[in-house]
Amino acid sequence: MTRRRALLAGAALAAPALAPRLAGAQAAYPNRPITMIIPFAAGGPTDVVARLCAEVMGRDLGQTIVVENVGGAGGTLGAQRVAQARPDGYTILCHHIGMGTTPSLYRRLAYDAVNGFETIGLITEVPMTIIAKKDFPANNLAELVKVLKERGHGVNLANAGVGAASHICGLLFQSAIQTQLTTVPYRGTAPAMTDLMGGTVDVMCDQTTNTTQAIQAGSVKAFAVTTSTRNAALPSLPTAAEAGLPGFEVSVWHGLYAPKGTDAAITSRLSKALQVALADDRLKTRFAELGTAPVSADQATPEFHRRYWQADIAKWRPIIQAAGQYAD
């Protein structure tokens, strides 16, 4: 009995000493798989970028990153799910320029589109391309604009859904050429591209990550890239400025987010894994094939990402308000 009491007493004394080590083991991050939410359909440009990052990040973190597509409502359904998730680092979001346009494009949301997230880091800035079905009666951007002005609403402008990058680019393009077309929203980029290549719709403005292979294969007709310099994957494609539309520049940035309140140590760890992914040779090669490139390491940080995102919200607000086209 005395021996038993001594053992129990020893165990009681040891428990406080063991507690910090047990708590530390439980708090080790990550100790289980992470879910990365993509707020768009599988196979689209954001999905491709996210999956490439998730694979390498998972290796660095020592845990699988499970990619889950939660599409709908211009990306807001997936974003809402992450905003309302536990801030423990096990549910993160990969989103694009829509994080900068959503606060102005939607007047009523079930989550805080400005303050509902912690930033992790930027991934890439993807150029857009102005394309059309392969038998569209125009051979350069000037001819395209001329036909669009003549036909107006008789031309169908496809996009991947309200709030998608292709929708935003389409709004700016119509504003730039001062012509309203008939917009045709789809539930994702893949079906929009399928119909464009099939000739069901006429014109589209979308990311090189989605259009490069179709352009190279001659499945669509390309008129311009929407950046200030030509794209290495499409060197013969002129910039919009070179093709006669000066000042028309649009690129689609992508970044990673965690729910508001996620510990800074966790977002920092995720940021470090992202930086490892963006330095990966295979990822860089694949990005180049898709007509884009990773951002620099200092841009793949929570601090830079936060500043960039907030500046983009301020940039898009007057543009969307002037267009007067809201998603709700």
Which amino acid is it at 289?
E
> Which domains does the chain possess?
34-125+253-323 (3.40.190.150), 127-225 (3.40.190.10)
CB 153 within 8 A of CB 66: no
Q: Global pTM?
A: 0.80
Average pLDDT taken over every residue of the chain: 90
Bigger pLDDT: 174 or 162? 174
Q: Does the pLDDT of residue 196 top 50, yes or no? A: yes
Tens-digit pLDDT profile for residues 266-288: 999 999 999 999 999 999 999 99
Closest CA to 102 of 324, 313, 322: 313
Across 77-81, 97-101, 176-180, 188-192, least confident range: 188-192
Q: Does the pLDDT of residue 18 top 70, yes or no? A: no
Kindly state the DSSP code that residue 262 receives in the 8-state scheme. Answer: -
Q: Does the pLDDT of residue 9 top 70, yes or no? A: no
Tens-digit pLDDT profile for residues 85-139: 999 999 999 999 999 999 999 999 999 999 999 999 999 998 999 999 999 999 9
Which amino acid is it at 79?
A
Q: CA 174, CA 191: separation in Å to the nearest integer?
A: 22
Which amino acid is it at 231?
N
Q: CA 240, CA 152: separation in Å to the nearest integer?
A: 20
Q: Tell me what pLDDT residue 22 has.
A: 36
Q: Tell me what pLDDT residue 66 has.
A: 98
